[in-house]
Structures are given as C-alpha cells and as structure tokens.
Amino acid sequence: MRLILTALVFVAGMFDLFLAISFLTGPEDAATGFGIAATGIGGISTIRADFTSFFGVAAFCMMWGAWRRNADLLLVPALLFGTSFVGRAINLALVGAYPGWPMPMVVEAGHVLLMLAAWRMLPHHKLREIAG
C-alpha cells in the first residue's frame, strides 16, 4: 500500500509540474483552460507567477516527498489544495454554481485526501537539533 501511495503522489506531482510549466511557458492558453482571462501584461504576469508557483511548489513537495519518503513535505500541497477547496466552497455558497464547478473541487479534494493518506503511511523526519 505504501508503494502504491508513493507512486500516486509522484504521478500527481508530475501532473502538477506539467501544469506549472504550462503556466510558465504559455500563461494565456493555460489560464483559458481554468476559465481565466488575462487583461494586459500585468494580468499575464500575475497568472505566470501565481499559478506557476502554486502548482510548482505543490509538485516539488509531492515529488520530493515521495522520492525521499518524507511525509512531512506532503503537508504543503495538502494545505495548498485544501485552501483552494475551501475558497471554492465559499464561492459556491456565496455566488453559486457555474458550469463545470465540481471538477476542480474533486481534483483538489483528491489531492488533499491523497496527501493525507500518504502522510499517514510514509515516515516522518524529525528535525535534528544542532548542538553548538
């Protein structure tokens, strides 16, 4: 089970890395797939920076955590995707549904559940105190 969870985390990390690279190299096209349109150079810059960092940091933590069998790194993407899920839930409650709204929430919830399951199964690395 541990090997399967580790592989799933690594594959999900590769998917997120692909998203990060697509936002870095082609922010307008990548954003369109997310229902976002940039207005001007500042908007393109924001999409390139924010989405690349979100998916890139999540991917790095997932892939490095899976590779090194370090469960603590998986808490970072769990928090990122969990926060996104809560934001979407609040938006759903306040503004209402839009076409295709369930899919991003399913992906975010799936990430959170996968990260927490792997966090429970993989070893935790405690920080060592530096004796000085």
Classify residue 37 as exposed, middle or buried by CB count within 10 Å of its CB (0-12, 13-18, 19+): exposed
Residue with tokens 């890395």: 17
Cβ distance 24 to 52 under 8 Å? yes
pLDDT tens-digit readout, 6-40: 999 999 999 999 999 999 999 999 999 898 998 89
Cα(25)–Cα(7) distance, integer angstroms: 27
H or E segment to which residue 129 belongs: none
Domain residue spans of the chain = 2-121
**pLDDT category, 129, cuts 50, 70, 90?**
very low
